[in-house]
Amino acid sequence: MTKPPNTSGPLTRVRRMSPNLTLTLMVVIVAVVVILGVLVVNRSQRPGGEPAEASRTVEGHALLEAADGKVTVVEFLDYQCPACAAFYSNVINGLEHDYAGRITLVVRNFPIQKHPLAVPAARMAEAAAMQGKYRQMYHALYDNYDSWALSPGGDEPSADLGRAQARFDELARQLGLDLDRLHRDADSDHASRRIEADRAAGVRAGVSGTPTIFVNGVEFSAGESSFAEFDSRFRARIDRALGR
């Protein structure tokens, strides 16, 4: 008959794990957990540390779309911001014309508190989007910026909501929008959520002022420069991304 193993002898001592081996395994486990954590964080970000959702995604409104998705430009804007209006006139207009079909150009809301008509204007744009005319309203708001965003006869931002709303309605009629529906949609939770989602995404991406531009998830800045210099450097950056 085979004798059962002696569980109180040498075999027991062999099976016990030494303190040094236990400590080594604990260190290895901690290291693996740390590495996995770093990988998870890195997967949620793009080069330059910008959150992918905020700085590259097309969750905003696309003014241009490219099928290959090779280059995505995202602008965070404030409709009443004079710098945004100047950027629109001096950079974006030309970009829309010259890069149509070659890049994806997305705009997202980032209304700033010191501009009292920024949110009402953003609501008008979001409401127009619900009738399929975001791009047209976006252009109308900036093309007619002085008539609603600035105080009459001055360069100061206007706080006259009644005057601005009358102008918004006039622009909406020119675009053939259903005015009653536009007002309902502008006051809707959907419009509020879209604006707040954009603003929150901008905060996560480190946006603190407007306009702020990202090219493929990395913030673009030309430093202190004229619009002509900015436009030249901006196009050069886009062309490099396109492989030109």
Whole-angstrom Cα Rg for the chain: 28
pLDDT computed for residue 45 by the predictor? 37
Q: pLDDT of the chain along its 244 residues, tens only? A: 433 344 334 333 334 445 554 444 444 343 433 333 333 333 333 333 444 455 555 478 999 999 999 999 999 999 999 999 999 999 999 999 999 999 999 999 999 999 999 999 999 999 999 999 999 999 999 999 999 999 998 789 999 999 999 999 999 999 999 999 999 999 999 999 999 999 999 999 999 999 999 999 999 998 888 999 999 999 999 999 999 8
Q: How far is CA 29 from the centre of its chain?
A: 37
CA-based nearest residue to 92, from 82, 102, 107: 107
Superfamily of domain 55-242: Glutaredoxin (3.40.30.10)
8 A C-beta contact, residue 200 and residue 177? no
Collapsed DSSP state (helix, strand, coil) of residue 51: strand
Measured CA distances, 14 to 7, 26, 110 (Å): 11, 20, 67
Q: Give the relative orientation of helices 134-143 and 118-129 as an angle to the nearest 10 degrees.
A: 150
Domain spans, the chain: 55-242
For the entire predicted model, the pTM comes to 0.77
Burial of 86-98, coded b for 16+ CB within 10 Å and e otherwise, reads: ebbeebbeebbee
- Angle (nearest 5°) at CA 124 between 158 and 177: 125
Burial of 151-185, coded b for 16+ CB within 10 Å and e otherwise, reads: eeeeeebbeeeeebbebbeebbeeeebeeeebbeb
pLDDT computed for residue 153 by the predictor? 83
**Residue 39, number of CB atoms within 10 A of its CB:** 9
